[in-house]
């Protein structure tokens, strides 16, 4: 059974990498011991080591058989160990470090040659190196995977423990809150009917209070209008008295011929002038009195509406309330106030007298025409 080219290439790659490790460990060591005694012995040992490495490289390049390559690499290791024995007395620390590296390489080489390169008794040739090395890699990967799995399992256990602790702490904090919430919900369910009843009563009280306030406002304004009407009426009576008294005195004196005509006319004119503000105040008193009656009636309607509509159905009650609200809050016209808000003066009196005279003349004319037609 011949060795495959892949197995041979694998072994050559292995030996070349180990030669690099040996060179890195022994070359600095040779430079340090050049100044010590026994330089010739050191140089000779180094030359043997270098020659062994060169032989290994040449054999690898010229396609030697695998068994020959194994023997040559064995010579490289032997030359390396001999070189270390020569210099260990001169620089023991560095030699110990180099010996450690060489021992590692020999161990790996020994494992490779004793386990993977065992000669088959029937052919005398080594068995496949690459397959056995892959098997060893697989074992190492399996072991590494087990280690990683163990680490992950430990982390998972730690996380599970942390989660359990967090859940316990959460439950320890949330359970009292849950019990408090349940108790509060029970209390709310218990007092809910009472609260609803209180809300209904409060709505009724607010409605009554609003109606009382509204009726009270109308009643208050009614009283203000009453006071204004009374004040204006008293003023009108006083001014009228002031106008009538001089006129009556003048008439009495004129009848006894104790006053002249000019003085009588003057007093009469003065009385007429005084009648103007008296008439104005009387008219304004009438307006305030009418406003008083309207406000008083509104206050009474607002106060008595509930008792009036209580027996009626809810729809009828709402309809009546809408009608009352439309009457109370509907826009109002004040044209009649503006038309009558001017004070009475001489021009107005003359206009009134002329109008009365014209109406009387028209009435007399109509009566005369009617009489003539009836006689004809």
Q: What is the DSSP letter of 344?
A: P
Final residue before a domain boundary, out of 102, 127, 152: 127
Distance of CA 286 to the CA centre of its chain: 64
Same domain for 321 and 349: no
pLDDT in tens, 50-85: 888 888 888 877 777 777 778 888 888 888 888 888
Does residue 191 lie in a domain region?
A: no
Query: Cα separation of 293 and 184, whole Å?
Result: 57
- Taking the C-alpha atoms of residue 359 and residue 365, their distance in angstroms, rounded to an integer, is 10
pTM of the model: 0.35
Please count the helices (runs of H) and the strands (runs of E) in the chain: 9, 0
Task: Pick the closest to residue 301 from 317, 323, 332, 324 (CA basis).
Answer: 324
Answer whether residue 187 is part of any domain.
Answer: no
pLDDT digits (tens, 9 = 90+) for 93-120: 777 888 888 888 888 877 776 654 543 3
Nearest C-alpha neighbor of 26 from the set 108, 67, 81: 81
Positions of E strands within 218-373: none
Q: How far is CA 125 from CA 3, 129, 132, 200, 277, in A?
A: 8, 11, 15, 109, 152
3-state secondary structure of 257: coil
358 is in which domain, residue-wise?
345-376
Question: Tens digits of per-residue pLDDT, 310-351?
Answer: 777 878 877 877 777 777 666 555 455 445 544 455 555 556
pLDDT of 104 reads 85
If one counts the domains in the chain, the total is 3
Residues 350 and 339 in one domain: no
Distance CA 87, CA 84 (A): 5
């Amino acid at each position: 059974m011949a060795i495959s080219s892949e197995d041979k290439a694998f072994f050559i790659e292995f030996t070349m990498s180990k030669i690099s490790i040996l060179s890195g460990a022994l070359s600095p060591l040779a430079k340090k011991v050049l100044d010590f005694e026994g330089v010739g012995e050191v140089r000779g040992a180094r030359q043997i080591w270098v020659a062994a490495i060169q032989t290994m490289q040449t054999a690898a390049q010229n396609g030697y058989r695998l068994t020959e390559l194994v023997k040559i690499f064995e010579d490289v290791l032997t030359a390396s160990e001999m070189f270390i024995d020569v210099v260990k007395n001169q620089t023991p620390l560095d030699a110990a470090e180099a010996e450690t590296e060489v021992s590692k390489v020999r161990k790996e080489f020994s494992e490779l040659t004793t386990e993977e390169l065992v000669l088959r008794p029937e052919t005398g040739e080594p068995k496949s190196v690459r397959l056995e090395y892959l098997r060893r890699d697989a074992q190492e990967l399996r072991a590494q995977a087990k280690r990683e799995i163990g680490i992950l399992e430990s982390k998972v256990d730690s996380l599970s423990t942390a989660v359990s602790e967090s859940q316990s702490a959460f439950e320890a904090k949330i359970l009292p809150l849950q019990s408090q919430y349940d108790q509060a919900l029970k209390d709310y369910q218990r007092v809910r009917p009472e609260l609803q009843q209180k809300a209904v009563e409060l709505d009724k009280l607010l409605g009554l209070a609003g109606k009382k306030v509204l009726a009270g406002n109308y009643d208050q304004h009614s009283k203000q209008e009453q006071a204004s009407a009374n004040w204006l009426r008293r003023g009108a009576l006083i001014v009228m008295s002031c106008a009538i008294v001089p006129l009556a005195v003048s008439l009495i004196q004129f009848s006894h011929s104790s006053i002249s005509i000019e003085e009588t006319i003057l007093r009469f004119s003065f009385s007429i002038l005084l009648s103007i503000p008296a008439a104005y105040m009387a008219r304004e008193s009438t307006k305030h009195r009418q406003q008083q009656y309207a406000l008083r009636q509104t206050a009474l309607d607002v106060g008595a509406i509930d008792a009036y509509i209580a027996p009626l159905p809810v729809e009828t009650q709402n309809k009546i309330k809408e009608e009352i609200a439309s009457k109370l809050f509907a826009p109002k016209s004040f044209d009649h106030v503006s038309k009558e808000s001017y004070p009475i003066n001489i021009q107005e009196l003359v206009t009134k007298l002329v109008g009365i005279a014209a109406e009387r003349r028209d009435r007399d004319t109509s009566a005369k025409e009617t009489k003539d037609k009836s006689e004809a």
